[in-house]
Amino acid sequence: MEGSEWCWNHDPAHAGEHRRHGSKGGKRGGRGRPISELARLQGWFEDLTEQVLSGELERARAAVACQLLNGARACIRDTLTAREKEELEAEIRLQAERIAALESVLKIRSVK
């Protein structure tokens, strides 16, 4: 970067952005992966369907189980929505900080 002793990756001014990018993987990894959770729920729905069709499970019990699984699915969806909102808000704050920093640089340069 012109006029700086640091490259973009090592510039302390970008430490917050590096931290934010690095933390995304940890938030999405492990048991928190929505695809695996949804696949697990799908498996349960399929098992319940087979049990009802074979007569192994009565319809009323299966209906309650499906309602509970739909509640779990809604929780996954709402968690993803909240996480996306938090990430967007963090990105907006970061961009506002960057714009303020650029404006201050432009103001200093225009004074010179």
pLDDT digits (tens, 9 = 90+) for 68-92: 999 999 999 999 999 999 999 999 9
Residue-level pLDDT at 49: 95
Contacts of 52 (CB under 8 A, 6+ apart): 58, 59, 62
Give yes or no for a contact between 88 and 81, defined as CB atoms under 8 angstroms apart: no
The pTM (predicted TM-score) of the whole model is 0.56
| pLDDT confidence band for 58 (50 / 70 / 90) | very high
The answer to whether the Cα torsion of 56, 61, 62, 68 is positive or negative is: negative
User: Residue 46 and residue 44: Cα distance in Å, rounded?
Assistant: 5
Instruction: Give mean pLDDT, residues 20-36.
Output: 62
